[in-house]
C-alpha cells in the first residue's frame, strides 16, 4: 500500500537545493544546539548540559547531510488548519519547512520522498500526563513535596511502558501519583526510542497538587475539612517572600554601611588600602541568595541520598554551612587584618609605643584561630578585635559603627515553587475529582490570584464546566474510555456515574480548553482509542485530535515548537495507515525533530 | 575391549543417520562418571536424537560426521541427577487433598505446574529428573510420579506415571485436625485422626479394607471394579507398586516397618532421619531408604514434634549395614542443592562413587526407571550434566545441563 | 417485590402487545447491515416476522415489504446483538449447590430470575443473549442455559444449552471435597470413567455421557497453566472439545488449544491490562483458536476495540462479539448473526461498532426494541474522522 521510495524530481531548483543543504540547513541546529539528542541510560545525564561541548554524534552529521525530507500522504490534518487531501510535509533538519498540497510545492531534485498514498500524517501526539520514565519507588514516594523536581529522578528502563514513540507520542509531561499532597514539579520530556530528553526550560514545568481527598474521608464534612486545609496552601508565602526581600534590602544596606565603615578605616589608616579593597571585592560578589540558590537546593533535596531525607534534618546543617559561614569567616579575617593595620598605623605614629602595643597584637593573633572554626553563621560579636575596635572608636573617633550582617531567612524550595506559581512562571496542576474538590481548586485560584491552573482528571468537571470556563482554567482528562470508572450500575462506587467519554463534549460546550492524556505510560497504545471514545461522546474528530496535540502543547507551554504541523515547528510527525481514531489503525512512522524514532517494517 | 569395539561400530553405523538429522553432539576429552562404575579419565560421549549413542575412551570412539563437538577438557560429565523426593513449589492446597485422610488414588501429576520456578532451580543445579510425591498432610496422600524437570506439558515430561504411593507417619497428618467440641462441627477438619495412634489406625484400616475387597473380588469377579483407592492399595499389597513411608523419628520408622511387615508389603523409608538407630532392623527387612537431606540438622514440617535427631553419620551407618539408600533433598528447610547433599555424604564417610550413585543410578533403580535414566550408557536418555570440575568439589558448578539431548541450562 | 403491581400489570400488557401472534411484520432499513462478520450489505433491510429474521436484503418479497411496518434507521449500521458467552449475573449463590461439588444434572433454568435487576445491564451495552452458567464453585455445576434480556423481563431461549465444569480455585476452597486440583481432576476423571463404562447410570452420569457423545457442549472454568492443562487433558481423554472460561494464562497453551479445537471465553479487558493480555486475542486468532469475551457486559465492545488496537483483525473481533460465542454454545443457528431464521436480535450503531467513535444507538431483542432510540431519522452527527 504505502510505497516508500525515493523519487527524483527534475532539477528545477538546483540552486535552491544547494542553499537548502548548505549553510542554511544548519540554521535550526545552530539556533537550538541543545536540541540535539543525547541518548543515555539515565535521566540525570540526559538533562541538557549548559556547556556545549562539540558532540561526537553521528546524528548531527547525518542531520546536516540529510537536508530535506518529504512526506506525502493521502490525508494531512495539520491541526493548525483544515485537513489537507494529498498533502505533503517538507522537513529540513529538525524543523518543518512547509506543509501543503502535493504539487503545490516545488521540490529540489534528489529529495527523499516518503510516500504514503493511503496514509495519514498527524503531528506527533502530546501526552499531557504520563508516568513514563519513573520507577515504582518514585511513583509511590509519599515524601515528595513542592520543591521536588521529578525531572531529576527520571530513569530509562527500556521496558514496554517506556516505549512512547512507537505509539506516536513525541512530547510528554511526566508526573507521578504519589500519596503526597504536593507531588513535586513535573517535567516535559521528548521520548525517543532509546530514552528521552528533557525539554529545555521545561524541566520543571508545573507544580503538582493533589486536591482529591483521601479514601479515608467518607463523610462530606470530613472531606470539606480536608479541602479547607488544602486551601491554606499559600499561607505564609507572603511572609516568606517579604523575608527574602527584606534580606536582600538589608544586605544592600549592609554592603553600603560596610563600605562606609571601611572607608572610615581606610582614611584612618591612610596608606593601607590594598587589603580592604580585596575584602570589598569579595563582599561585592557575594551571591544574591534569593535568585540563584533556591533551585540548587531544591535539587539537592529532591535527589538527596535515598531521596528520603527529612526536610530540615541533615539538610539544615548543610545549608547553614554554605554562604553564611563563609561570609562570617571572611569577615573575621577582615576584622583581624583591620586590627593589625590599625596597630601598624599606631606603630607608625609613635615607635615608642611599640612596647605597649605588642601585647594586644599577640592576643589578637592568638584569638582568631579558635574563633574562625565554629562561627555558626553569625558574625563575630564582642570579639576581641571588634571589642578593641569599638573601644578605639569610642576613645579615638566617632566614625560609623561596624554594621551587623543581616539574618538570612531559611530557604524553602517548596515556597520557592509556590512563588513561581504565583508569579505565573509555571501553572499549578491540581488533581481533583468530585465537584467539591473542583470548586475548592477554583477557590484556591481565586483566593490567591493564581494566574494559571490546570485541573487533572476532573471527573465531575461536567457539572462545574461553566465555573471552570469563567476562571480560565484548563483541564487534562485521563481515562477517557467507556466505563473507565466502573460499571454505571455500581452503587458503591461514587465515581461510576460519571461517563468520562461525555466529558470532552461538556467542556467543549462550556469553552474550557481540554487535553486528553493517557495518565499512565502503559496506556500510550490506547491513547487513540481515548480520542475515539471522546468522539463517541460527541465532539468532532478534529477537536479530539486537537486535544491530543495542540491543546496539550499549549497547556505545557511548548506550543511554539510542537503540537501541529506548522512551518518552523519541530518535525514531530506521526504517520498512520488510516484515520487515527479507527481501532485497527497502525502507526507506520514516527519522526521526532525529524529523526525516525519508529518505523513499521 | 569388546565394549569399546561395540560402541565404535555403533557410532559408525549411526553416523549417516546422525548426519542427516544434524543433531548429533559429541562431548570429548571429558572425565565421565557414568554411574554405577568408576570414573573414566578421558572419554567421549556421543548423543543423537535425545539418546546416548556412544560412550568410550576418547581415542577409541570415532566421531560421527557432522557432529557438533564440545570439548570438555577439564570438565566432568555425570548423568543428570535424580531427586527422589522433590518438593515442587506446589501451594499447600494443591499438594494435599484435604477432604480425606486416605486418598491413595490421587495423582500429584494432576496438580503439577510445569512452569513452577522450582523446576528451573532444579535444572540449574543439575537435577534432570524428579520424583514428586503428594504433600505430607494426608495419611495416605496418593501417587507420586517421576518426571523430567524441563518441558511445558506434564504428560510429555513424564517418565513414570504411578511410581509410588505415599504413606505418612508422625504428626503431620493429624496436625490440622480437631476433635469436635461441644458437639459442634463447623469445619471438615473436625475429624480423625488427631494423634499418632489415629494415623496408624487410618493406615491399618485402609489396608484392611483393601484386603477385604481383594478377597471379595476373588470370590465374585462380577462385582465390578473396586473403588480406585482400594485398587491402588491392592497393587501395593501385591507388590506391584512401591510404597513410600515418610517417617522421621525412630518410633515412626519402627511403626512403618511394623505396618509393612503386618500387611506384607515392602516399603521405602522416606526422610528417615533416625535410620542410624535401627539400621539393623532396616537391613533385616530389606527396606530401602530415601534419606531426606543428609545435611539436615533441623527437620522442617512437623519439626521437633516428631522428635527426630539427625546425625551426619547416618549415611555411613547405613552403608556399613548394607542398606540400600538414596540421597534426596527431602524437606530440608535449608534447601541445599542435591549435589551438595551428595558432597556432604561423601565427606561423612561415603565413597565418592557411592555418593554420586546415590543421586543417579540408585534412585533410578529404586523408582524403576533405570532402563531409561540414571546412568550414561548407549540407548539411554541423553540426560547429562557437565560440571566445571569434580561435582563433589564444593566449588563445582553445573555448567551445562542436557535433558533428552536438549540444553536446558547454561551457566557461563 | 422489586416492581409494584401496577408496573407488573403494565409490563404484562406491553408484553402481550409484543407477542408474535399479534405482531405485524417489521421492515428494518439501514445504511449498512452486517449479516455476519465480514458480510455487510449496503443500504439494505431485514424483514422481521415473529421475532425472527424472515428475509434479508434482496430476498424480501415485494408484497411482504409493502405490508410491513417500516423502521428506517437512516445511515446507521445494524449488526447482530452481542452474545455474552458465560456469566452468572452475580447470582453465584443460587447457581452453585454449596454442599456438593459434583452436581452435573442440576438445571440453571430453575434458578433463572426473569425479572432480575442484573438483566437490565445487558441490553444497554448491546448484549442480546447470554449463556448463564452454573457457579464456578462447583466442579460439575449443572446444565446452563441460553437466555435473553427483554423489554421488561428476560426469558430462557434454550433451557438445555451446555454443562458447566470448573477447575478454578473457587471450586477447591469450599471446605468440602475436593480441596486440590488433583482431587478435582480425579473426581471428574472417575465420574467420566464411570459414565463410560457403567451399564446403568444415574441422571448425573447420563449428562457426562452426552458430553462424551458430543450431544452436549461442555464449558470448563480454568485459569492457570495447570488448570488449562487439566481441562484440555480431560477433553482429550474423554473425547470432547471443551470451551474454556477464564483462561488468564491461555497464552501459554495457545498451540494446544488449537490442537484440541478448544475455544476460550476470555475475561473482558480494560485498558490497564498488561500488553501481553491485550495482544492475546490477536495471537489466538492467528492460531485459529475460537475465542470471545465475557465478564462485564459494558466492557465487551471496549474489549474488542482494545484487541483490534493490539493486532486483532476487525472481522475476528466482530465474530468474537457475535458469532463465535453463539457457536461455542452450539446456538449459531439461532443467535449471533442476522441470517435468515435467526432471532431478530440486533444492535444499531452510528458507525463501525469496533471504533469507539461510533455510538450505540439502540438494541432490539426478538424484533422488539428494548433500548435506545426506537427509530432513527438521518443522523445529523456525521463522522468526520478522516
Q: What is the DSSP string of A164-232?
A: -GGGTEEEEEE----S-SEEEEEEEEEEETTEEEEPTT-SS-EEEEE-SPPTT--SHHHHHHHHHHHHG
What is residue A559's predicted lDDT score, i.e. its pLDDT? 94
- Of residues B96, B113, B187, nearest to C180 (C-beta): B96
Same domain, A19 and A113: yes
Average pLDDT over residues A350-364: 41
Q: Could you check whether the bond before residue B193 is cis, i.e. omega within 30 degrees of 0? A: yes
Q: Which residues in chain C come in under a pLDDT of 50?
A: 1-3, 6-21, 376-386
Region of poorest pLDDT, from A221-235, B236-250, C47-61, C191-205: A221-235
* Three cell numbers written together for C277: 493480555
Residue A371 pLDDT = 42
Question: Which CATH number does the domain B2-80+376-410 belong to among 3.30.70.1400, 2.30.40.10, 3.40.109.10, 3.40.190.80?
Answer: 2.30.40.10
Shortest Cα distance from B13 to chain C (angstroms)?
37
pLDDT higher for A112 or B237? B237
CA distance B159 to B147: 5
Chain A residues with CB under 8 Å of C310 CB are: 525
Kindly tell me if the per-residue pLDDT of A3 is higher than 60. Answer: no
- Give A373 or C254, the one with higher predicted confidence: C254
Greater pLDDT, C117 or B384:
B384
Where does the pLDDT of residue B89 fall: very low under 50, low under 70, confident under 90, or very high at 90 and above? low
User: In CATH, what number is assigned to the domain containing residue A196?
Assistant: 3.20.20.140
| Among candidates A520, A523, A541 on the partner chain, residue whose Cβ is nearest the Cβ of C384 | A541
pLDDT at A387: 43
Q: What superfamily in CATH does domain C5-81+337-372 come from?
A: Urease, subunit C, domain 1 (2.30.40.10)
pLDDT grade, residue A398 (50/70/90)? low
pLDDT value, residue A316: 39
Would you place residue A265 in the very low, low, confident or very high pLDDT band (cuts 50, 70, 90)?
confident
CATH number of B81-366: 3.20.20.140
Interface of C with B in 239-258 (CB under 8 A): 252, 256
The residue among C69 and A384 whose pLDDT is bigger is: C69
Q: How far is A106 from chain C (nearest CA, A)?
A: 26
Residues of C in contact with A526 (CB under 8 A): 271, 306, 309
pLDDT average, residue stretch A188-193: 92
Residue C357: what pLDDT?
93
- The C-alpha atoms of residue B258 and residue A361 are separated, in whole angstroms, by 105
Q: Subunits touching A (CB < 8 Å, at least 3 pairs)?
A: C
Cβ burial of C159 (10 Å; 0-12, 13-18, 19+) is middle
Report yes or no for ipTM above 0.90: no
Q: Above pLDDT 70, what percent of chain A? A: 66
pLDDT of A10 reads 34
- Assign 3-class secondary structure to C350-380: CCCCCCCCCCEEEEEECCEEEEECCCCCCCC
User: Range(s) for CATH 3.20.20.140 in chain C?
Assistant: 82-328
Say if A48 falls within a structural domain. Answer: no
Angle at C272 between CA A492 and CA C321, to 5 degrees: 85
Report residue A327's pLDDT band, with 50, 70 and 90 as the boundaries.
Answer: low
If one counts every other C-beta atom within 10 angstroms of the C-beta of residue A283, the result is 18
Predicted pLDDT at A324:
53
Domain count across chain A = 3
Nearest to A158 by CA among A188, A189, A194, A134: A194
Is C252–B152 a contact, with Cβ atoms under 8 angstroms apart? yes
Helix/strand/coil for A78: coil
Alpha-carbon distance of B315 to A31, in angstroms, equals 81
Cβ–Cβ < 8 Å for C85, C244: no
Model confidence over A58-105: pLDDT tens digits? Answer: 344 344 445 788 999 999 999 998 999 999 999 988 999 999 998 887
Residues A259, A223 share a domain: no
| SS3 (DSSP) at B277 | helix
> pLDDT higher for C280 or A406?
C280
A1, A117 contact by CB (below 8 A) = yes
Q: Which of B93, B107, B152 sits opposite C179 (nearest CB)?
A: B93
Give the count of beta carbons closer than 10 Å to the beta carbon of residue A274: 7
Task: Tell me the residue length of chain A.
Answer: 601
> What would the pLDDT profile of B93-130 be if each residue is shown by its tens digit?
788 888 888 999 999 999 998 888 889 999 999 999 99
What integer pLDDT is reported at residue B359 of this predicted model?
94
Chains C, B in contact, 3 or more Cβ pairs below 8 Å = yes
Q: How far is A439 from chain C (nearest CA, A)?
A: 29
Nearest CA in chain C to A579: C386
User: What pLDDT score was predicted for residue A546?
Assistant: 96
pLDDT at A490: 72
Q: Which of A205, A142, A138, A132 is nearest to A167 (CA)?
A: A132
pLDDT-based confidence at A268, cuts 50/70/90?
A: confident
Q: Which pLDDT belongs to residue B298?
A: 53
Distance CA A380, CA A599 (A): 68
Residue A55 has pLDDT above 80, yes or no: no
C124 touches chain B (CB under 8 A): no
A267 within domain boundaries = yes
pLDDT at A397 over 60: no
| pLDDT tops 80 at residue B169 | yes
**A301-315, B19-33, B236-250: least confidently modelled range:** A301-315
User: How does pLDDT run across C18-53, given as a tens digit for each residue?
Assistant: 444 456 899 999 999 999 999 999 999 999 999 999
Return the pLDDT at A13: 34
- Residue A295 domain flag: no
A428/A536 same-domain check: yes
DSSP letter, residue B46: E
Is residue A111 domain-shared with residue A158, that is, in the same domain? no
What is the C-alpha to C-alpha distance for residues B208 and B262, in angstroms, rounded to an integer? 10
- Residue C281, Ramachandran bin (φ over 0: left; ψ between -120 and 50: alpha; else beta): alpha
C-alpha cell at C303: 474489549
Domain that includes residue A347, residue range: 238-286+320-396
Q: Which residues of B touch C (CB under 8 A)?
A: 93-100, 103, 105-115, 134, 142, 152-155, 187-188, 228
- What CATH number has the domain spanning C82-328? 3.20.20.140
Map grid coordinates 421475532 to a residue: C51
Task: Inspect the interface and report whether the beta carbons of B114 and C173 lie closer than 8 Å.
Answer: no
> What backbone phi and psi angles, to 5 degrees, belong to B291?
-75, 115
A385 phi/psi in degrees, rounded to 5: -60, -45
**Mean local confidence (pLDDT), A298-314:** 36
User: What distance in Å separates the CA atoms of residue C353 and residue C309, rounded to the nearest whole number?
Assistant: 13
Give me the residues paired with residue A514 across strands.
A475
Which residues, in sequence order, are CB contacts of A227 under 8 Å at separation 6+? Answer: A211, A213, A436, A437, A440
Q: What is the pLDDT of residue B271?
A: 87
Touching check for C357 and chain B: CB below 8 Å? no
Cβ–Cβ gap B107/C225 under 8 Å: no
The verdict on A146 and A166 lying in the same domain is: yes
> Which residues, at least 6 apart from C64, have a Cβ–Cβ distance to it below 8 Å?
C25, C47, C54, C55
Q: Nine-digit cell at A462?
A: 461536567
Instruction: Tell me how close the Cα of A491 comes to any Cα of chain C, in angstroms.
Output: 13
User: Which residue in chain B has the smallest CA separation from C226?
Assistant: B113
Q: How wide is the angle at C-alpha C246 spanned by C-alphas C245 and C250, nearest 5°?
A: 105
> How confident is the model at residue B97, as a pLDDT?
87
Note whether A468 and A554 are same-domain residues.
Answer: yes
Q: Is the pLDDT of residue A37 over 50?
A: no
What integer pLDDT is reported at residue B90 of this predicted model? 65
Indicate if the pLDDT at residue B178 is higher than 80. Answer: no
Residues A439 and A492 reside in one and the same domain:
yes
Q: Where are the domains positioned within chain B?
A: 2-80+376-410, 81-366
Q: What is the mean pLDDT of chain A?
A: 75
Burial A336-368 (b: 16+ CB within 10 A, else e): bbbbbbbbeebeeeeeeeeeeeeeebeebeeeb
Q: Which of C371, C366, C362, C386 is nearest to C74 (CA)?
A: C362
A350 and A253 both lie in a single domain? yes
Which of B89, B91, B97 is the best mutation test for C, with the most CBs of C within 10 A?
A: B97
Residue A513: inside a domain, yes or no?
Answer: yes
Residues of chain A with C-beta less than 8 angstroms from the C-beta of C385: 532, 535, 541, 579-582
CB contact under 8 A, C302 and A522: no
A358 occurs within a structural domain: yes
Output the pLDDT for position B172: 83
Higher pLDDT, A1 or A503: A503
Amino acid at each position: 500500500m504505502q510505497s516508500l521510495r525515493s523519487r527524483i524530481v527534475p532539477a528545477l531548483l538546483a540552486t535552491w537545493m544547494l542553499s537548502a543543504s548548505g549553510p542554511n540547513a544548519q540554521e535550526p541546529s545552530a539556533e537550538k544546539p541543545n536540541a540535539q539528542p543525547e541518548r543515555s541510560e539515565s535521566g540525570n545525564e540526559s538533562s541538557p548540559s549548559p556547556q556545549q561541548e562539540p558532540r561526537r554524534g553521528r546524528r548531527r552529521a547525518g542531520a546536516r547531510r540529510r537536508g530535506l525530507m518529504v512526506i506525502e500522504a493521502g490525508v494531512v490534518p495539520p491541526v493548525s488548519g483544515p485537513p489537507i487531501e494529498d498533502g505533503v510535509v517538507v522537513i529540513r533538519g529538525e524543523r518543518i519547512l512547509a506543509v501543503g498540497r502535493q504539487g503545490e510545492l516545488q521540490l529540489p531534485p534528489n529529495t527523499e520522498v516518503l510516500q504514503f498514498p493511503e496514509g495519514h500524517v498527524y503531528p506527533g501526539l502530546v501526552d499531557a500526563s504520563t508516568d513514563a520514565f519513573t520507577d515504582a519507588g518514585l511513583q509511590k514516594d509519599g515524601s515528595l513535596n513542592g520543591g521536588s523536581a521529578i525531572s531529576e529522578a527520571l530513569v530509562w528502563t527500556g521496558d514496554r511502558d517506556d516505549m512512547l514513540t512507537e505509539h506516536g507520542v513525541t512530547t510528554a509531561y511526566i508526573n507521578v501519583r504519589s500519596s503526597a499532597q504536593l507531588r513535586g514539579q513535573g517535567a516535559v520530556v521528548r521520548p525517543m526510542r532509546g530514552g528521552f530528553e528533557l525539554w529545555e526550560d521545561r524541566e520543571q514545568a508545573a507544580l503538582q497538587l493533589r486536591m482529591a481527598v483521601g479514601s479515608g474521608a467518607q463523610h462530606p464534612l470530613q472531606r470539606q475539612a480536608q479541602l479547607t486545609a488544602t486551601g491554606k496552601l499559600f499561607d505564609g508565602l507572603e511572609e516568606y517572600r517579604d523575608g527574602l526581600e527584606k534580606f536582600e534590602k538589608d544586605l544592600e544596606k549592609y554592603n553600603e554601611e560596610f563600605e562606609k565603615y571601611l572607608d572610615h578605616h581606610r582614611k584612618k589608616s591612610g596608606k593601607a588600602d590594598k587589603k580592604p579593597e580585596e575584602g570589598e571585592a569579595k563582599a561585592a560578589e557575594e551571591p544574591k541568595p534569593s535568585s540563584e540558590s533556591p533551585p540548587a537546593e531544591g535539587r539537592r533535596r529532591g535527589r538527596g541520598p535515598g531521596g528520603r531525607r527529612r526536610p530540615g534534618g541533615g539538610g539544615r546543617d548543610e545549608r547553614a554551612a554554605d554562604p553564611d559561614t563563609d561570609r562570617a569567616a571572611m569577615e573575621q579575617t577582615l576584622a583581624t587584618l583591620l586590627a593589625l593595620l590599625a596597630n601598624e598605623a599606631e606603630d607608625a605614629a609613635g615607635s615608642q609605643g611599640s612596647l605597649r602595643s605588642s601585647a594586644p597584637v599577640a592576643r589578637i593573633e592568638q584569638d582568631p584561630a579558635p574563633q574562625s572554626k565554629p562561627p555558626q553563621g553569625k558574625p563575630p560579636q564582642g570579639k576581641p578585635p571588634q571589642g578593641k575596635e569599638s573601644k578605639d572608636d569610642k576613645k579615638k573617633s566617632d566614625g560609623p559603627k561596624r554594621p551587623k550582617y543581616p539574618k538570612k531567612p531559611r530557604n524553602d524550595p517548596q515556597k520557592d515553587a509556590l512563588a513561581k506559581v504565583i508569579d505565573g512562571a509555571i501553572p499549578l496542576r491540581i488533581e481533583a475529582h468530585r465537584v467539591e474538590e473542583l470548586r475548592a481548586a477554583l477557590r484556591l485560584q481565586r483566593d490567591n490570584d493564581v494566574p494559571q491552573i490546570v485541573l487533572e482528571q476532573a471527573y465531575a468537571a461536567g457539572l462545574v464546566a461553566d465555573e471552570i470556563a469563567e476562571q480560565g482554567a484548563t483541564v487534562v482528562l485521563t481515562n477517557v474510555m467507556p466505563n473507565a470508572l466502573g460499571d454505571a450500575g455500581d452503587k458503591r462506587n461514587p465515581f461510576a456515574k460519571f461517563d468520562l467519554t461525555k466529558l470532552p463534549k461538556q467542556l467543549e460546550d462550556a469553552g474550557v480548553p481540554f487535553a486528553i492524556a493517557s495518565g499512565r505510560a502503559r496506556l500510550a497504545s490506547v491513547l487513540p482509542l481515548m480520542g475515539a471514545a471522546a468522539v463517541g461522546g460527541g465532539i468532532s474528530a478534529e477537536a479530539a485530535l486537537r486535544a491530543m496535540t495542540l491543546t496539550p502543547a499549549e497547556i505545557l507551554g511548548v506550543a511554539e515548537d510542537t503540537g501541529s504541523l506548522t512551518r518552523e515547528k519541530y518535525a514531530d510527525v506521526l504517520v498512520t495507515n488510516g484515520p487515527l481514531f479507527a481501532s485497527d489503525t497502525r502507526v507506520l512512522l514516527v519522526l521526532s525533530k525529524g529523526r525516525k524514532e519508529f518505523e513499521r517494517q | 575391549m569388546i565394549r569399546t569395539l561395540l560402541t565404535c561400530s555403533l557410532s559408525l553405523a549411526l553416523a549417516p543417520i546422525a548426519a542427516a538429522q544434524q543433531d548429533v553432539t559429541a562431548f570429548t576429552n571429558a572425565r565421565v562418571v557414568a554411574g554405577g562404575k568408576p570414573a573414566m579419565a578421558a572419554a567421549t560421549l556421543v548423543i543423537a536424537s535425545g539418546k546416548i549413542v556412544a560412550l568410550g575412551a576418547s581415542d577409541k570412539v570415532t566421531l560421527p560426521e557432522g557432529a557438533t563437538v564440545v570439548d570438555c577438557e577439564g570438565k566432568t560429565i555425570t548423568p543428570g541427577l535424580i531427586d527422589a523426593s522433590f518438593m515442587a513449589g506446589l501451594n499447600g492446597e494443591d499438594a494435599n487433598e484435604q477432604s480425606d485422610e486416605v486418598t491413595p488414588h490421587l495423582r500429584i501429576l494432576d496438580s503439577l505446574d510445569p512452569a513452577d520456578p522450582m523446576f528451573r532451580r532444579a535444572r540449574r543445579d543439575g537435577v534432570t529428573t524428579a520424583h514428586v510425591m503428594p504433600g505430607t498432610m494426608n495419611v495416605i496422600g496418593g501417587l507420586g510420579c517421576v518426571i523430567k524437570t524441563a518441558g511445558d506439558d506434564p504428560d510429555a515430561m513424564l517418565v513414570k506415571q504411578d511410581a509410588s504411593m505415599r504413606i505418612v507417619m508422625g504428626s503431620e497428618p493429624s496436625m490440622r485436625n480437631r476433635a469436635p467440641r461441644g458437639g459442634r462441627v463447623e469445619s471438615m477438619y473436625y475429624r480423625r485422626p488427631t494423634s499418632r495412634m489415629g494415623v496408624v489406625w487410618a493406615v491399618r484400616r485402609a489396608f484392611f479394607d483393601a484386603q477385604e475387597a481383594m478377597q471379595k473380588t476373588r470370590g465374585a469377579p462380577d462385582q465390578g471394579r473396586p473403588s480406585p483407592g482400594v485398587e491402588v492399595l491392592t497393587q501395593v499389597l501385591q507388590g506391584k507398586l512401591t510404597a513410600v513411608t515418610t517417617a522421621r523419628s525412630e518410633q515412626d520408622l519402627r511403626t512403618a516397618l511394623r505396618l509393612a511387615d503386618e500387611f506384607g508389603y515392602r516399603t521405602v523409608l522416606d526422610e528417615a532421619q533416625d535410620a542410624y538407630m535401627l539400621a539393623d532392623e532396616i537391613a533385616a527387612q530389606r527396606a530401602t531408604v530415601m534419606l531426606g537431606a543428609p545435611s539436615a540438622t533441623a527437620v522442617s514440617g512437623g519439626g521437633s514434634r516428631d522428635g527426630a535427631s539427625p546425625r551426619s553419620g547416618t549415611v555411613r551407618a547405613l552403608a556399613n549395614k548394607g542398606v540400600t539408600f538414596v540421597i534426596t533433598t527431602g524437606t530440608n528447610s535449608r534447601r541445599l542443592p542435591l549435589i551438595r547433599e551428595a558432597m556432604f555424604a561423601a565427606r561423612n564417610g561415603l565413597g565418592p562413587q557411592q555418593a554420586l550413585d546415590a543421586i543417579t543410578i540408585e534412585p533410578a533403580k529404586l523408582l524403576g526407571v533405570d532402563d531409561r535414566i540414571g546412568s550414561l550408557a548407549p540407548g539411554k536418555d541423553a540426560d547429562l550434566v557437565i560440571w566445571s570440575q569434580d561435582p563433589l568439589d564444593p566449588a563445582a558448578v553445573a555448567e551445562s545441563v542436557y535433558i533428552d539431548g536438549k540444553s536446558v541450562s547454561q551457566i557461563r | 417485590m422489586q416492581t409494584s403491581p401496577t408496573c407488573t400489570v403494565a409490563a404484562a400488557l406491553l408484553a402481550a402487545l409484543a407477542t408474535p401472534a399479534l405482531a405485524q411484520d417489521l421492515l428494518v432499513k439501514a445504511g449498512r447491515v452486517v449479516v455476519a462478520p465480514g458480510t455487510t450489505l449496503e443500504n439494505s433491510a431485514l424483514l422481521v416476522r415473529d421475532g425472527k429474521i424472515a428475509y434479508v436484503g434482496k430476498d424480501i418479497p415485494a408484497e411482504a415489504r409493502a405490508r410491513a411496518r417500516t423502521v428506517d434507521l437512516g445511515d446507521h449500521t445494524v449488526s447482530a446483538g452481542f452474545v455474552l458467552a458465560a456469566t452468572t449475573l452475580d447470582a453465584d449463590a443460587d447457581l452453585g449447590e454449596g454442599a456438593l461439588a459434583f452436581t452435573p444434572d442440576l438445571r440453571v433454568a430453575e434458578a433463572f430470575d426473569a425479572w432480575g435487576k442484573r438483566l437490565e445491564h445487558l441490553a444497554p451495552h448491546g448484549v442480546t443473549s447470554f449463556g448463564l452458567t452454573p457457579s464456578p464453585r462447583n466442579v460439575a455445576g449443572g446444565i446452563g442455559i441460553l437466555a435473553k434480556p427483554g423489554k421488561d423481563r428476560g426469558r430462557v431461549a434454550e433451557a438445555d444449552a451446555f454443562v458447566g465444569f470448573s477447575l478454578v480455585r473457587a471450586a477447591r476452597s469450599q471446605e468440602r471435597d475436593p480441596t486440590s486440583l488433583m482431587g478435582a481432576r480425579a473426581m471428574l476423571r472417575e465420574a467420566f470413567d464411570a459414565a463410560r463404562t457403567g451399564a446403568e447410570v444415574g441422571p448425573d452420569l447420563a449428562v457426562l455421557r452426552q458430553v462424551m457423545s458430543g450431544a452436549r457442549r461442555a464449558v470448563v472454568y480454568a485459569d492457570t497453566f495447570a488448570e488449562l492443562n487439566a481441562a484440555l487433558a480431560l477433553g482429550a481423554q474423554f473425547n470432547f472439545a471443551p470451551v474454556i472460561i477464564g483462561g488468564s494464562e491461555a497464552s501459554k497453551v495457545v498451540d494446544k488449544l488449537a490442537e484440541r479445537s478448544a475455544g476460550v471465553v476470555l475475561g473482558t479487558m480494560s485498558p490497564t491490562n498488561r500488553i501481553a493480555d491485550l495482544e492475546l486475542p490477536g495471537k489466538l486468532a492467528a492460531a485459529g483458536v475460537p475465542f470471545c469475551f465475557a465478564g462485564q457486559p459494558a466492557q465487551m465492545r471496549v474489549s474488542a476495540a482494545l484487541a483490534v488496537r493490539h493486532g486483532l483483525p476487525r472481522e475476528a473481533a466482530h465474530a468474537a462479539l457475535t458469532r463465535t460465542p453463539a457457536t461455542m454454545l452450539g446456538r449459531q443457528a439461532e443467535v449471533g448473526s442476522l441470517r435468515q431464521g435467526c432471532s431478530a436480535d440486533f444492535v444499531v450503531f452510528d458507525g463501525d461498532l469496533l471504533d469507539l467513535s461510533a455510538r450505540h444507538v439502540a438494541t432490539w431483542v426478538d424484533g422488539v426494541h428494548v433500548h435506545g432510540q426506537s427509530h432513527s431519522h438521518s443522523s445529523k452527527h456525521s463522522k468526520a474522522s478522516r
